Copies of this chain bind each other. A is one copy, B any other.
Amino acid sequence: MREEIPRKTVYRLSVYLRCLRRLSELGESAVSSDALAKAAGVKPAQLRKDLAHLGALGKRGFGYEVRALEEKLVGILGRTRLQPVILAGVGNLGAALMGYDGFAKEGFEILAGFDIDAGRAKARGGFKQPVLEMGELPDFVRRAVVNMAVLCVPGKSAQEVANQLVEAGIQAILNFSPILLQVPDEVMVNNVNLAIELENLSYFAKRL
């Protein structure tokens, strides 16, 4: 359990956790690797191998305790408490994500949005959080002890704003811009490119 868990495995652990929550809600108390794997869309052998990274959690001939496994995963994934996040670039998409309740439901709280033109951004209206000027970011991050950011600025300014985030002490960036960010090794970046997802889909849809 104290060896490095592979990246792809960590990602799947999140998927398993969501499946377990669903089973929990349905009142299931135990689940086999077979059943859980089916719900998560993976092979049973892969599920067992993934879970083995966390120690021997199952009972042979029986399966896994839903509740216990759920708690184990929450512990591993470090989501016991609310995670504060900031958002940079309150444009079209950024504004949407600030109001997205999917984050809140999953334990992430967007504390504030930042924009080079906070006034214009605020004019969109309907924000629960403050929208501040980029210049206020460093102080805010230090005081609120935030280490995650969502980046929603256009490609042209993405690298520059990423630099500011890193400078302010941000450790992890969820990047929606179409640019490959250059960041120090200790900063983690996950990229989400909605246009590429659609483009990819359209490629495979055509050869139906």
Which residues on A are within 8 Å of B, measured CB to CB?
Answer: 7, 10-11, 14-15, 18, 22, 39-41, 76-79, 83, 85, 92-93, 95-97, 99-103, 105-106, 108, 147-148, 150, 155, 171-174, 178, 180, 186, 188, 190, 192-206, 208
Contacts and interface: CB of A to CB of B under 8 A. Distances in A.
Contacts of A76: 203
B40 A199 contact: no
Nearest to A192: B197
Copies in the complex: 2
Given A103-B194, A180-B39, A197-B190, A202 B14 contact: no
Contacts of A79: 199, 202
B96 A97 contact: yes
Contact of A172 (B173, B194, B205): B205
Contacts of A106: 195, 198-199
B205 A171 contact: yes
Given A83-B198, A96-B96, 5 more contacts: A14-B196, A15-B196, A95-B96, A148-B201, A148-B202
Nearest to A171: B205
A197 B178 contact: no
A197 B83 CA distance: 13
A41 B78 contact: no
29 contacts: A10-B200, A10-B203, A10-B204, A11-B196, A11-B200, A14-B199, A18-B196, A22-B155, A78-B203, A79-B202, A83-B202, A92-B96, A92-B100, A92-B102, A93-B96, A95-B96, A96-B96, A96-B100, A102-B195, A103-B195, A108-B198, A148-B201, A148-B205, A150-B198, A171-B205, A172-B205, A188-B204, A190-B197, A192-B197
Contacts of A7: 204
Contacts of A15: 196
B195 A194 contact: no
Those 4 A-B pairs whose CB atoms lie nearest each other, nearest first = A96-B96, A172-B205, A106-B195, A172-B201
